[in-house]
Chains A and B, each alone.
Chain A
Amino acid sequence: MSTRSTIHLVEATVLEHHHLDGEQHILRVQADDIAADARPGSFAHITCDPCLPMRRPISILRADRRQGWVEFLYKVVGEGTRRLAERGEGELLSILGPIGRPFSFDTARRRPLLIGGGVGMPPMIFLAETMRGEKDLQPFVILGSEVPFPFTARPSTVMVPGMPEGVIAAMPLLEDRGIASRLASTRGYAGCFEGYVTDLARHWLDALDEEARGQVEVFACGPHPMLEAVARLARDYNLPCQVSMEEFMACGVGGCAGCVVEVQTETGPAMKRVCVDGPVFEAGEVFPF
């Protein structure tokens, strides 16, 4: 089912724009209507430059309803995001959002596992913060990156079962909220697990007893091969899993069917629109194995 939630078109003022290593950027804009309705997994469709009129879909990192700001973490991958990175404080950006079917979690599953890779990190951070509002949930977040992380990692004070020796690096923002996190990379960054996010996830899952493992629900956003590996992991452990997909996008509101992903349904294959049927899908639909 596609989502019918309201999408706002706003001219948003750039409040802050931080430029990080690895051509990564954190952009904060004043967009009250979007902040009010944003959910973990939803995204915004942004005009990066008036001279490049097709919008670019960018996932939402965080939103503050009270103050009305929305934050995005993005990486330069082409001309659109390169121009977006040039936007300065006080400039206006045309933003359409929030868009899409967000993640939905089952509060009965008390040990959500959140896996974010590269520019797939933002929705996981948003989701973890949202879950923190549910007192019984104990989310564990694994973030992976092949370029320097868009934050300065620090040693964790939150114990996590199954972590190999020396895997202590955590994301400060999550750590400050008491959310367990660990980092993975094949680049040998200090304190990070050297390998893939899914390998680190296996260490954690194997360290849980059967009852605890039965309380795990998996959420992932990141590059397609990572999502496929996460879907396989979830299948191996018989865990429910949602993945957030991306695809080149034109309208962003379900009108053009330009951004599809092939899914398996009870009646056979179907093409679903990433913008309004997704971007979050059940992993088994997209990766039927």
Chain B
Amino acid sequence: MWSVQPLAIYCKIPLMASSDETSTDGPDASLRVDFCGLDFASPLVLLSGCVGFGEEYTRVKGFSNRDVGAVCLKGTTLEPRLGNPPHRVYETPAGMLNAIGLQNPGARHVVEKILPQLDFSETRFIANLSGSTVEEYAEVARIFDDSPIDAMEINISCPNVKEGGVAFGNDPDMSARVVAACRKVTDKPLITKLSPNQTDIAENARRCLEAGSDAFAVINTLMGMAIDAESREAIIGNNQGGLSGPAIKPVALLKVHQVYQVCRDHGVPIIGQGGVASAEDAIEFLIAGASAVGVGTALFYDPLLCPKINAGIENYLARHGLARVSQLTGTLRLNSPPVRQPGCGV
């Protein structure tokens, strides 16, 4: 069933190295990032949905949460959710589709049973808030507010069950309402995870910023589908799923650049994410305007990727005479004059 076509782009992804090449000292001081007042040891953030509730990857010899600035925990709703039926994942050219369906044990269980197991000296842990109503998001935020969690990421890509199932994140109005509701119940840093499946991501960011978002994660997955031509069936149990991996990197870079135009003057940081599989990818996101960089799908290729990305960024900083990684943020040199508007034959 794993039938995909090869693309030359994959071949840029390095094979993993043996575990004795992984660092044990943690990232170099030049990689430290102040993110909403949180001290990130590296700009790298492990993305929600890829690393369970923070400890799953520690099964892999050589893996350490100390190699990353923060770990985003799995999407959490007020009540436990079973999630979607299989198949939940499927490889596609230069990426994969997933439709997990927010399987999680509920916010109270996470706070009471899982957070006490995490070692907060290793890295910063970020909760991922999900819900079906504005009220549910706020209640989940309130539960996490009363916990040691370092920050909260609002997953506004969930469907709004009270208003026709349209994803909150696809509508700036609904997005801002979710952010405002969460803002009311917590002073912890709020990171809004923006969806690429909308007309104007910059406008959405502007509205969420006004509603109290402290930071943004850009982007969430792009919605997609896989079909088995022989059986004419949708392969993913949920029929549709989110596309991630190197295939979406160009989209993500543009969206980070667009959101950065809104954030720059307000000092609001961005976690750039979407297809990061190498130090070069991470650096491109920083240049586009990100202060931190998310790693997700590429961990499935190489669980020991993060120390290698850290080393690659360190090397880049040294080569370019930069003392700190934050000096890279938003240093994109656009062509002048600006390109014409999309849709005008460019």
Seen from chain A, the residues whose Cβ lies within 8 Å of a Cβ on chain B are 4-11, 33, 47, 49-56, 77-81, 92, 94, 96, 247-262, 269-271, 276
A24 to chain B, nearest CB (A): 17
A56's nearest neighbour on chain B, judged by CB, is: B2
B85 to chain A, nearest CB (A): 7
B87's nearest neighbour on chain A, judged by CB, is: A248
- In the bound complex, residues from chain A placing their C-beta under 8 Å from that of B86 are 247-248, 259-261
18 A/B residue pairs, CB under 8 Å, sorted by A: A9-B16, A9-B303, A47-B15, A50-B10, A50-B13, A52-B91, A54-B300, A55-B301, A77-B1, A78-B2, A79-B2, A248-B88, A250-B98, A253-B59, A254-B52, A256-B50, A260-B86, A260-B88
B85 touching A262, Cβ below 8 Å: yes
A18 to chain B, nearest CB (A): 22
Total A-B residue pairs with C-beta atoms closer than 8 Å?
A: 147
B81's nearest neighbour on chain A, judged by CB, is: A271
Tell yes or no: B57 within 8 A of A by CB. Answer: yes
- In the bound complex, residues from chain A placing their C-beta under 8 Å from that of B3 are 78-79
- In the bound complex, residues from chain A placing their C-beta under 8 Å from that of B159 are none
If A9-B303, A11-B18, A248-B87 are given as contacts, then 10 extra A-B residue pairs at C-beta distance below 8 Å, sorted by A number, are A4-B59, A5-B59, A8-B19, A8-B60, A9-B60, A53-B300, A77-B2, A79-B5, A256-B98, A260-B88
B10 touching A51, Cβ below 8 Å: yes
Quick one: given A52-B91, A54-B2, are A94 and B50 in contact (CB under 8 Å)?
no
B74 touching A257, Cβ below 8 Å: yes
B91 touching A6, Cβ below 8 Å: no
- In the bound complex, residues from chain B placing their C-beta under 8 Å from that of A9 are 16, 18-19, 60-62, 302-304
Tell yes or no: B56 within 8 A of A by CB. Answer: yes
Considering the chains assembled together, what is the distance between the CA atoms of A270 and B15 in angstroms? 35
Chain B interface, >50% SS class = loop
Across the interface, A53 reaches (CB within 8 A) one of B13, B82, B83, B103, namely B13
A45's nearest neighbour on chain B, judged by CB, is: B300
B300 touching A11, Cβ below 8 Å: no
B82 touching A271, Cβ below 8 Å: yes
A269 touching B82, Cβ below 8 Å: yes
Considering the chains assembled together, what is the distance between the CA atoms of A78 and B2 in angstroms? 5
Tell yes or no: B7 within 8 A of A by CB. Answer: yes
Considering the chains assembled together, what is the distance between the CA atoms of A50 and B90 in angstroms? 17
A93's nearest neighbour on chain B, judged by CB, is: B15
- In the bound complex, residues from chain B placing their C-beta under 8 Å from that of A11 are 15-18
Interface string of B190-216 (1 = CB under 8 A from A): 000000000000000000000000000
A6 touching B15, Cβ below 8 Å: no
- In the bound complex, residues from chain A placing their C-beta under 8 Å from that of B17 are 11
Tell yes or no: B172 within 8 A of A by CB. Answer: no
A-contacting residues, B1-27, CB 8 Å: 1-8, 10-11, 13, 15-19
Considering the chains assembled together, what is the distance between the CA atoms of A259 and B88 in angstroms? 7
- In the bound complex, residues from chain B placing their C-beta under 8 Å from that of A257 are 49, 52, 74, 83, 88, 100, 103
- In the bound complex, residues from chain A placing their C-beta under 8 Å from that of B15 are 11, 47, 50, 92, 94
Quick one: given A11-B16, A257-B103, A261-B86, are A248 and B1 in contact (CB under 8 Å)?
yes
A266 to chain B, nearest CB (A): 15
Quick one: given A10-B18, A254-B56, A260-B86, are A51 and B6 in contact (CB under 8 Å)?
yes
Tell yes or no: B174 within 8 A of A by CB. Answer: no
Across the interface, A52 reaches (CB within 8 A) one of B4, B87, B89, namely B4
B91 touching A253, Cβ below 8 Å: no
B98's nearest neighbour on chain A, judged by CB, is: A258
- In the bound complex, residues from chain B placing their C-beta under 8 Å from that of A247 are 86-87
- In the bound complex, residues from chain B placing their C-beta under 8 Å from that of A56 are 2
B51 touching A78, Cβ below 8 Å: no
A258 touching B56, Cβ below 8 Å: no
B89 touching A256, Cβ below 8 Å: yes
Quick one: given A260-B86, A261-B86, are A251 and B299 in contact (CB under 8 Å)?
yes
A7 touching B60, Cβ below 8 Å: yes
Tell yes or no: B96 within 8 A of A by CB. Answer: yes
Across the interface, A47 reaches (CB within 8 A) one of B5, B87, B301, B304, namely B301
Across the interface, A6 reaches (CB within 8 A) one of B50, B59, B100, B298, namely B59
A143 to chain B, nearest CB (A): 24
Considering the chains assembled together, what is the distance between the CA atoms of A6 and B15 in angstroms? 21
A8's nearest neighbour on chain B, judged by CB, is: B61
- In the bound complex, residues from chain B placing their C-beta under 8 Å from that of A6 are 59-61
- In the bound complex, residues from chain A placing their C-beta under 8 Å from that of B1 are 77-78, 248
A83's nearest neighbour on chain B, judged by CB, is: B6
Considering the chains assembled together, what is the distance between the CA atoms of A52 and B10 in angstroms? 7
A1 to chain B, nearest CB (A): 14
A276 touching B6, Cβ below 8 Å: no
